[in-house]
Amino acid sequence: LQKSLSETFGTDKYSRARKEVLTYMFSRPMQMALYFCTGVLHDETLFHHYALNVPFYTHFTSPIRRYADIVVHRLLSASLGAKSPIKMEKEAIQKQADHCNDRKMASKRVQELSADLFFSVFVRVRP
């Protein structure tokens, strides 16, 4: 898809903007990853990563970026015996995960609306 988009949009001053907007719009329908507490969910198929085709998967980045990543780091450290377990019940962890999911969805929606607005203006200015 990326190669096709690159070849299709030429080399004028708007080609990069067209490619970026349409690439974003093509990837929008993909399902977003959700945070959840494994101790609350009993269906292990939910732990599967489709693209990587691995049965058990967890994702996190640097703990300076998101609260959810801090929780994952703490839980992982505790499971490896490097730190003491965090003092949160699994239901409280799931509540935090739900909150992080809500905020992430709201942020994504604002990003989508911004891209839609940009695309609308772009099409109006440059049909």
Q: How many CA atoms lie within 13 A of 106 on its CB side?
A: 6
Residues 25 and 44 in one domain: no
More confident of the two residues 63 and 67: 67
Co-location of 17 and 51 in the same domain: no
Answer yes or no: do 38 and 67 share one domain: yes
Is 64 in the same domain as 110? yes
Look at residue 91 in the predicted model and tell me its pLDDT. 93
Same domain, 7 and 60: no
* Residues 50 and 99 grouped into a single domain: yes
Domain co-membership, 58 together with 120: yes
Looking at the structure, tell me whether residues 42 and 7 fall in a common domain: no
- 59 CB contacts (<8 Å, ≥6 apart)? 33, 72
- Residue 72 sits in the same domain as residue 13: no
More confident residue, 65 or 37: 37
> Whose CA is closest to 58, among 77, 41, 42, 72?
72
User: How many structural domains does the chain have?
Assistant: 2
Shared domain for 10 and 38, answered yes or no, is no
87 and 37 within one domain: yes
Note down the domain range covering 8: 1-29
DSSP 54: B
90 has pLDDT over 70: yes
Give the pair of three-digit tokens for residue 60: 């996190």
Q: Does the pTM of the predicted model rise above 0.75?
A: no
Phi-psi region of 58 (alpha: psi -120 to 50; beta: other; left: phi over 0): beta
pLDDT band at 106 (very low <50, low <70, confident <90, very high): very high
